[in-house]
Structures are given as C-alpha cells and as structure tokens.
Amino acid sequence: MSNRPRAVLVLADGTVFHGDSIGAEGITIGEVAFNTAMTGYQEILTDPSYCRQIVTLTYPHIGNTGVNDEDIESTTASRIIHAAGLVVRDLSLVTSSWRSRHTLPDFLKQHGVPAIAGVDTRKLTRILRTKGAQAGCIMTGHIDETEALRQAQAFPGLTGMDLARVVSCSQPWEFSEGAWSPETGYQAAGESRCRVAVLDFGVKRAILRKLVEHGCHVTVYPAQTRIDEILAARPDGVLLSNGPGDPEACDYAIDMARALLASKIPVFGICLGHQIIALAIGARTIKMKFGHHGANHPVLDVDSGRVMITSQNHGFAVDVDTLPANVRVTHHSLFDGSLQGFELTDHPVLCFQGHPEASPGPQDVNYLFSRFISRIVKNKQSA
C-alpha cells in the first residue's frame, strides 16, 4: 500500500474502487468514460469535449512524460483542464521528457481536478462496456462512501445537457499559431489564402492550428453568435467545432447551422459540429452505450475503400436511419457500423464524427482539412 492520501471512485451502480489520490483534494462527479489511447493524456485532459466527464485511461502506465506547455488543447486561460476527473491504473514514479514542465499530479492539483490511481481499470472498463456509460464520483480527503454514492446517483447525465455554451469563448478572437516543430516551436501564420470563421463549441487548439497550417485566416466566434454577425464578416468557409454535451440541447447552434446551409459557403463540421449539422438537416442523434474514445478506431473511407485509423471522442452519434436524401455517407466505423462522415449533395458541406486533427492519435484523416480548403478555393473562384 502506498503512503499517498487515499481516494475512492464510486459508480452510480454502487461499485466502489479504492486507490490513491493523485490530484486535487475534494469531490467531483461526472459521466465515467474510458479512453483507449496509449499516449496523449495531456491532450485528453485539456480537450473541452470532456467537460463533465471523468476520464479512465485503459493504458496502464500514465504520467511518464509529465506535462508540457505545448500540448494543451484548451483555448481558454481560465479553464485549462476540462475533464471532471481522472482514473488511472498506475502513476509513473518518474517523469521524463525534454519538454516536461510539470508532473501530472502537480498539473491536476494546480487546476483543482481530483484524480485516483491504483484502480483496476480493466474491471472498470468491463463494467462500462457491459452496463453502458454511467455516472461516478471521485472523493479524496475525508472519504464518505455513502455520500459519494449519493452524489454519483444525483448526476443528471449528459443527455439534454448543453455544455457548448459553457466552454465556449465569450468574445470573437483571432488565432494565428501554425504547426509545431522541435526547432522553432509553433510557427507564425504565413500569408493567408482564405478566411475561415470557427464556431467555438469547445474547439481544440489542434483544429485551429490545422486551419492556419492550410493558409486560413482564422476568427473564432462564441457558440451563440448570430448568423448575421458571422455572414457580415464575409468568411470564405465556416467550421463548426467539436464540443461537450448533448448536440440536441444546442438549439441555437442547430438554428444557426440551418441558416448557414441556406448560404452557399463551404462548411466543415467536426464531432459536435458534425452532429449539429445532421440535426439541422432533420436527422436525429442518439446517446451511444459507451461511446468511442480512443486513438485506434478503424473507419472506412467509402470513396477510396481505404481503412483509416482515427482518433475518436464521442458519446452521441447521428442515427444513420434518419438521414435525409441529400446526404452522401463518406465514412463509417468498422467497430460498430455507426456513421462517421457525410457530405451533402446540394451544398459544399463535409462532416466527420472523429478527429481529423488527431491530438492525440494518428493523422490518417488529415486530408479532410485539404478537402475543406479546396472546396473554399473552388467556391471563391466560381463566385
């Protein structure tokens, strides 16, 4: 037994896991999700899409490379870690990376996020896979298991929760950071070829960087920005970002997307953005049993017949049976057949459920950014 302070993770079904506290002291509740990525705990913790979720990493040894200043996905200085809590099997005793600035426990403490180590994450994952996603509570400091169970059971669940407006920025702002290289760090934006408006539902920095890398001048807008304000800025393309919570609860974004589709501006929807566009055209979304969270999910690119290994993080999905006739399915999951990508036959719109920007994960579907930019260039030429 270690001499670290104790912690418990209590699931809403009453299962109790004992372990060590490796983060902030206190209590946190959220939906417990498991992520199978072998690397990238820093990107995962700071991805705004994990708001109100307690992340369990199935890879057993976590913290080895510490935390650096570059791999933070959050765009807001006021909230760096978005995950509600962290569950790991084994915390590395040693931190080693030339970029490391903090240890993982120090980072968690600094940002007030409770975390537990020493948990049998295989057992936990099997429970989540078998019974489906459920709420949980991590409690550290003074531990009262009955109270932790009460709190876990009181979590209302992510269905119906609009979290995009919670994590979004409050003012429009410009982003100009390009790709990272070990020699130069993040490169400054070069000359821009087009102007892209990004609707921030909880956007990851990696998405913004990809746009800059492709020669876009990027303006980021709050989730509830009115369509007139976006169109008044005359963007050449619009990106609807990833984000946390239930897409169906984002009625303002669905209305905005519907109005956007009435224009002929090229649109790219990623993850929550993909779901919002699907809702705007009359399809439905459903809560998945335990979602897709990982960096090794095979997805079929229907056009090329090639299998892409993708980064995924979603708990809701578009119901493929509710798609209208003007949808052309471009990608589907080879794990469970769920919809992964579509285009519209009557509008330059492309949508992807996974994460083409990776971060963490493979870069196989990076080509969607080039496709979006070539649509923009084509549209500009024909205007």
Ligand X SMILES: NC(=O)CC[C@H](N)C(=O)O
Q: What residues are designated binding site for L-glutamine?
A: 49, 243, 245, 272, 275, 313, 315-316
Pairing type for strands 85-87 and 53-57 reads parallel
**Minimum distance from residue 111 beta carbon to ligand X (Å):** 20
Provide the mask over 50-69, with x wherever binding to ligand X is found by CB under 6 A and - wherever it is not.
--------------------
Sites for ligand X among residues 79-98 (CB under 6 A): none
User: Which CB sits closer to ligand X, 217 or 292?
Assistant: 292
Distances from the Cα of 310 to the Cα of 138, 252, 306, 322, 334, angstroms: 30, 29, 12, 24, 11
Sites for ligand X among residues 130-149 (CB under 6 A): none
Provide the mask over 231-270, with x wherever binding to ligand X is found by CB under 6 A and - wherever it is not.
-----------xxxx-------------------------
User: CA-CA-CA-CA torsion for 43, 44, 46, 50, nearest 10 degrees?
Assistant: 150
User: Which CB sits closer to ligand X, 17 or 290?
Assistant: 290
Dihedral sign for Cα 49, 54, 60, 62, please. Answer: positive
**Minimum distance from residue 241 beta carbon to ligand X (Å):** 7
**Minimum distance from residue 108 beta carbon to ligand X (Å):** 21
Give catalytic status of residue 357 as yes or no. Answer: yes
Helix (H, G, I), strand (E, B) or coil at 176: coil
**Minimum distance from residue 164 beta carbon to ligand X (Å):** 8
Catalytic residue among 271, 293, 331, 332: 271
Pick the closest to residue 341 from 269, 284, 279 (CA basis).
Answer: 269
User: Which CB sits closer to ligand X, 237 or 243?
Assistant: 243
How many residues touch ligand X (CB under 6 A)? Answer: 11
Provide the mask over 300-319, with x wherever binding to ligand X is found by CB under 6 A and - wherever it is not.
-------------xxxx---
Residues 8 and 16 sit within 8 Å (Cβ to Cβ): yes
Cα 285 to the center of its chain, rounded Å: 17
Sites for ligand X among residues 313-372 (CB under 6 A): 313-316
Q: What residues are designated binding site?
A: 49, 243, 245, 272, 275, 313, 315-316
Number of C-alpha atoms within 13 angstroms, CB side, residue 59? 17
Please state, in angstroms and rounded to a whole number, the distance separating the CA atoms of residues 27 and 148.
8
For the chain, the straight-line distance linking the first and the last C-alpha, in angstroms and rounded, comes to 69
Q: Could you tell me the two tokens for 267?
A: 């649109």
**Minimum distance from residue 290 beta carbon to ligand X (Å):** 11
Give catalytic status of residue 174 as yes or no. Answer: no
Determine which residue in the list 32, 189, 211, 272 makes contact with ligand X, applying CB under 6 A: 272
Give catalytic status of residue 177 as yes or no. Answer: no
Residues 148 and 27 sit within 8 Å (Cβ to Cβ): yes
Q: Collect all residues with Cβ–Cβ distance below 8 Å to 171 and sequence separation of at least 6.
A: 222
Please state, in angstroms and rounded to a whole number, the distance separating the CA atoms of residues 240 and 225.
12
Determine which residue in the list 207, 271, 280, 323 makes contact with ligand X, applying CB under 6 A: 271
Degrees, nearest 5: CA angle 261-264-270: 55
Q: Which residues contribute to the site for ligand X (CB under 6 A)?
A: 49, 242-245, 271-272, 313-316
The set of catalytic residues is 271, 355, 357
